[in-house]
Structure 1
Amino acid sequence: MLKIENVFGGYSSSPIIQGIDLAIENAEFFALLGPNGSGKTTLFKLITGQLPIQSGSVLLSGREIPVYSKLEKAKKISVLTQEVLVSFDYTVEEIIRLGRYPHQKGILKQLSKEDRKVIEDVMEKTKIIQFRHTPFSMISGGEKQRVLLAKALAQEPEILLLDEPTNHLDIKHTFQILDLIKKQQQETGLTVLAILHDLNVAALYADRIGLLQNGRLIDVGNADTLRKEAQLKQVYEVDVKTGSHPTVPKPQILMTPEHAERDFFDFYNSYQIEKNSTYIHMQFEHPLRTISNGVIGEGIHWLKHFCNFHVDKHYNCADPKSDLRERLNNYHIPHEATVAMMTAVNLEDMVMETKDINGIPMLVIVTAGVGNAIDVSNEYTISAGTQIGTINTMVFIDAHFTDGALVNACITATEAKTKALHDLQIKDRESDTIATGTSTDALVIGLTQQGEQTPYAGSGTAVGKGIGQLVYRSTKKAVNKYLKRIRQ
């Protein structure tokens, strides 16, 4: 364990580090974060003995750092920095051999069989064995950093100190280095104390995080420490929003620049619609904040294009995403900025309604087919295969919603659709009970994010009532058009 007890120190009589207490547990990855000038590198130099401690103590395995000789310290601690300068043009293997120096015995410091085994092992782990005879100056920056990591690991340290080791690397090489270190930590019990510049990278790799400000440790905790928006704004003096990584249970941070405020625009003059027998395409001049379960563009995004494609009623595709991307490409619509749905109903039966409700401009587009209407409360098993009889709903609102209000809006729109099916007596063919929807319904809610922010859009709010009224009326009209067509 590395223990820092009430440490003061720095470059002058006025200490930069002021009374830090911190315990780094064995085999953990601890990330030290803070803005430039907060004291991160100074603290590292106090730990390694490069700077004198004015008061307090740093203990390694229960002994104060100054008690260790340089050789003993080198067996305990290795350091990897962002610097890749090497004074002489050694080969890769020669540099890595230097990491074994603390373990070599005798005056001549010859490599032992064990030394050679360790060197081979770290070169293999860091994937640089093919460069063993290559001059260090001849390899890339990412490869150089892997060599220096191999040298640090060749020391077989208990603690690895990382001083912004990936600050000059691109994304690929950053993840390569940190993946290697994380794997070493997990497999060998290596303790890692890292200064990291990127908060999102720190959240992905660190077991615990410490936040430094003006030489003081103001917070210590797991990755959820980075969910404290007000604290991060205070420390970094930047407006931040935190969210969650889509596949890893860790937070990710978004920064908002001062220039981000948008000019007001007129909702009704901000879009154009193209409709034919093949597709409906709504294009907005400005991106909308969206939530959707569309085939393309699912989740929460900022998007400008909203498409509903007609497909054959017997449509059966193993990869509908790829199919829709190809269709979008054919019409020169960027799939990265699009919500795309599909339906087998006749697109001429689209219903579009616009209305200001309580001063809020809204627009709803619905296409509806109820050939595979479903009562979600019934227990029978739905037959396998793609079914296309569907209700596709697009709701566009000139308002500013939180993410919670976006979810509210989805619930409200779904309630309105279900009420329309109830009033029309649309039934589930299998159970002969009133349907709640179809098995392939799609929905998108799009917001301009203009005006005062609202945290709610449920059925008890003015904006929720507006969503409900428009979706209800549009769904009824669209279903009636569908029923009239199939009865002809």
Structure 2
Amino acid sequence: MIKVDHLVGGYSKTAIINGLDLEIEKGEFFALLGPNGSGKTTLFKLITGQLPIQKGEILLDGKPISSLSKLEKAKKVAVLSQEVHVSFDYTVEEIISLGRYPHQKGILKQLSKKDWQVMEDVMEITNVSHYRKTQFRMISGGEKQRVLLAKALAQEPELLLLDEPTNHLDIKHTFHMLDLLKEHQHSRGLTIFAILHDLNVASLYADQVALLHNGALLDVGDVNTLRKEDQLEKVYEVEINTQTHPTVPKPQLLMTPNHSLTEELFLFKDLFKIEQNDQFIHVHFNKALRTISNGVVGEGIQWVKHFCNFHVEKDYNCAEPTKDVKIRMEKQNIPYEQAVGMMTAAKLKDMVMIQKEIDGISILVIVTAGVGNAVDITNGTKKEQTSKVGTINTMVFLDANFSDGALVNGHMSATEAKVKALCDLQIKDPDSNTIATGTSTDALLLALTQKGKQTSYAGSGTVVGKAIGRTVYEATTQAIKKYSLQGQL
């Protein structure tokens, strides 16, 4: 569709773009990325003809773009720049009608029935119909941007050039505009070239991205190019971490400000307080911890301050346990957005709490246990529903700094320790009479202060993994013995 071949250009005799090569396929959404001063706007102006080309050429469908007349170019290419200034006091409808000019015939250039239909369509899809008789100067910057997009779409272009198209838009209208462009891309084969500043938005919408640095393309590829943290840090000069979007297979980027890298001095024992009664256990840290859990609330990897284990009756049956836990938290003035919540039918007075330091690692483990619903996960027999006390809930808190991989390692280490305790205590699955590996509703939390040097491994072969294992084993063993002493087995 468009090819940039050995392009050189800039302002006066100063070349900002030096020998740049780029090719964008028809029907592709292409995002140009880079920090301020990298040459994005210069390249945009060279492509749109606002700046003269010093060397090289730009081809549109194999023809030099400079060889096309203004009318020919307007039939193929529409431009939406950051500037929203209009010299004359036009109405919104009049602004949009300018987009039909390349398609009008005759000397008088009258709007045809088709022109009016196209205008109605683009005003509707860009949600500006109600402004049609409003003076352009009277609407907001975001509204102006949507009007100018409607004008560009009214041209019915094959190629749409966008310079920061969402610059004046809020989140809702940003996504509305880009969803609209994606729909046009897919349904009409529209080719889109967009300069974007927001790397996360670019990842969600672009098919291909290019990273511009000092007037040259550092990298070109699909959106997984944005997983190259070292390259992005070099270009943007800020610490960047990539992660995967939770619902679409696209990377998302997290930027870390310098002020957050300064570590504070504190004692682990001074970070938390524990409230316990017959209805709940609440561990409240004064700083958010990095967590991994399968709690009813706060599951997955999070940053949270509040950790709760609520007592329920052994015949508890609720269609919406997550909602139930949130209600219980609200009653205790605990913000569930910053919490992990578990549930158990075990008596909370029988909780086991062990706090110690092992090989220089401060660790706190809290376990409540009931094994009436013990199960061997390898047993294929379908277990009947019971109303026995049967959940092992484990909370592990560490004064350490784990990578996400180490969080998973640590979670595995705690699980292995729990299974070892069940094995040594000869807890069996009543259906198969084989050693149980857990209960059907176990919950496990691992929470880290994220202070100190980061470790990437926390498995059974590491000092910290063994510390987790030994403490969880000890606490689980004690909790199950308390349960057994009550004759509940």
Q: TM-score, normalised by structure 2?
A: 0.97
Partner in structure 2 of residue 254 of structure 1: 254
Structure 1 position 206 matched with structure 2 position 168: no
Contact between 1:375 and 1:433, CA under 8 Å: does it hold in 2?
Answer: yes
Hey, what's the Cα distance between the residues in 1 that align with 2:385 and 2:65? Answer: 67
Q: Relative to structure 1, is the Cα distance of residues 310 and 214 closer, same or farther in structure 2, using a 3 angstrom cutoff?
A: same
Instruction: Provide Cα deviations, 1:153-199, integer angstroms capped at 9, x if missing partner.
Output: 01011111110011222211211111111111111110000000101
Partner in structure 2 of residue 291 of structure 1: 292
Which amino acid letter does the alignment assign opposite residue 275 of structure 1?
Q
1:152 Cα offset (Å): 0.3
After TM superposition, the runs of 4+ consecutive aligned structure 1 residues lying more than 6 A away are 384-388
Hey, what's the Cα distance between the residues in 2 that align with 1:316 and 1:87? Answer: 68
Write out aligned runs for 1:38-437 (5 A).
Answer: 38-260=38-260, 261-383=262-384, 389-437=390-438
Q: Relative to structure 1, is the Cα distance of residues 353 and 48 closer, same or farther in structure 2, using a 3 angstrom cutoff?
A: same
1:329 Cα offset (Å): 1.1
Task: Give the match's secondary structure for 1:265.
Answer: coil
Hey, what's the Cα distance between the residues in 2 that align with 1:130 and 1:315? Answer: 54
Hey, what's the Cα distance between the residues in 2 that align with 1:131 and 1:296? Answer: 45
Hey, what's the Cα distance between the residues in 2 that align with 1:294 and 1:387? Answer: 20
Task: Give the match's secondary structure for 1:456.
Answer: coil
Q: Give the RMSD, CA atoms, in angstroms.
A: 1.5
1:142 Cα offset (Å): 3.1
Q: Relative to structure 1, is the Cα distance of residues 386 and 242 closer, same or farther in structure 2, using a 3 angstrom cutoff?
A: farther
1:486 Cα offset (Å): 3.7
Which amino acid letter does the alignment assign opposite residue 59 of structure 1?
L
Contact between 1:372 and 1:438, CA under 8 Å: does it hold in 2?
Answer: yes
Hey, what's the Cα distance between the residues in 2 that align with 1:369 and 1:54? Answer: 78
Task: Give the match's secondary structure for 1:283.
Answer: strand
Contact between 1:200 and 1:253, CA under 8 Å: does it hold in 2?
Answer: yes
- Identical positions, percent: 66
Hey, what's the Cα distance between the residues in 2 that align with 1:114 and 1:65? Answer: 28
1:460 Cα offset (Å): 0.8
Hey, what's the Cα distance between the residues in 2 that align with 1:107 and 1:381? Answer: 82
1:386 Cα offset (Å): 9.5
Deviating more after overlay: 193-202 vs 117-126: 117-126
Which amino acid letter does the alignment assign opposite residue 88 of structure 2?
F
1:138 Cα offset (Å): 4.0
Q: Relative to structure 1, is the Cα distance of residues 164 and 303 closer, same or farther in structure 2, using a 3 angstrom cutoff?
A: same
1:85 Cα offset (Å): 2.6
Which amino acid letter does the alignment assign opposite residue 161 of structure 1?
L
Contact between 2:239 and 2:257, CA under 8 Å: does it hold in 1?
Answer: yes
Write out aligned runs for 1:11-26 (5 A).
Answer: 11-26=11-26
1:288 Cα offset (Å): 1.0
Instruction: Provide Cα deviations, 1:309-338, integer angstroms capped at 9, x if missing partner.
Output: 111111111111111111111111111111
Instruction: Provide Cα deviations, 1:36-76, integer angstroms capped at 9, x if missing partner.
Output: 01000110111111111110110001000110011111111
Contiguous gaps of at least 5 residues in structure 1 = none
Task: Give the match's secondary structure for 1:303.
Answer: strand
Hey, what's the Cα distance between the residues in 1 that align with 2:50 and 2:434? Answer: 78
Task: Give the match's secondary structure for 1:16.
Answer: strand
Hey, what's the Cα distance between the residues in 2 that align with 1:136 and 1:50? Answer: 24
Contact between 1:388 and 1:440, CA under 8 Å: does it hold in 2?
Answer: no
Q: Relative to structure 1, is the Cα distance of residues 339 and 102 closer, same or farther in structure 2, using a 3 angstrom cutoff?
A: same
Which amino acid letter does the alignment assign opposite residue 212 of structure 1?
L
Hey, what's the Cα distance between the residues in 2 that align with 1:384 and 1:68? Answer: 76
Which amino acid letter does the alignment assign opposite residue 485 of structure 1?
Q
Hey, what's the Cα distance between the residues in 2 that align with 1:436 and 1:362? Answer: 24
Hey, what's the Cα distance between the residues in 2 that align with 1:377 and 1:467? Answer: 25
Contact between 2:373 and 2:386, CA under 8 Å: does it hold in 1?
Answer: no
Contact between 2:233 and 2:239, CA under 8 Å: does it hold in 1?
Answer: yes
Deviating more after overlay: 253-262 vs 55-64: 253-262
Instruction: Provide Cα deviations, 1:202-260, integer angstroms capped at 9, x if missing partner.
Output: 01100010000010001001111111010000000111111111111111111111111
Hey, what's the Cα distance between the residues in 1 that align with 2:387 and 2:225? Answer: 44
Task: Give the match's secondary structure for 2:184.
Answer: helix
Hey, what's the Cα distance between the residues in 1 that align with 2:424 and 2:283? Answer: 29
Hey, what's the Cα distance between the residues in 2 that align with 1:83 and 1:313? Answer: 66
Hey, what's the Cα distance between the residues in 1 that align with 2:139 and 2:4? Answer: 38
Hey, what's the Cα distance between the residues in 2 that align with 1:298 and 1:98? Answer: 53
Q: Relative to structure 1, is the Cα distance of residues 426 and 353 closer, same or farther in structure 2, using a 3 angstrom cutoff?
A: same
1:383 Cα offset (Å): 4.8
Which amino acid letter does the alignment assign opposite residue 162 of structure 1?
L
1:360 Cα offset (Å): 0.7
Deviating more after overlay: 214-223 vs 313-322: 313-322
Q: TM-score, normalised by structure 1?
A: 0.97
Hey, what's the Cα distance between the residues in 2 that align with 1:199 and 1:382? Answer: 49
Deviating more after overlay: 151-160 vs 168-177: 168-177
Contiguous gaps of at least 5 residues in structure 2 = none
Contact between 1:316 and 1:386, CA under 8 Å: does it hold in 2?
Answer: no
Partner in structure 1 of residue 475 of structure 2: 474
Task: Give the match's secondary structure for 1:169.
Answer: coil
1:130 Cα offset (Å): 3.2
Contact between 1:102 and 1:155, CA under 8 Å: does it hold in 2?
Answer: yes
1:89 Cα offset (Å): 3.2
Q: Relative to structure 1, is the Cα distance of residues 216 and 275 closer, same or farther in structure 2, using a 3 angstrom cutoff?
A: same
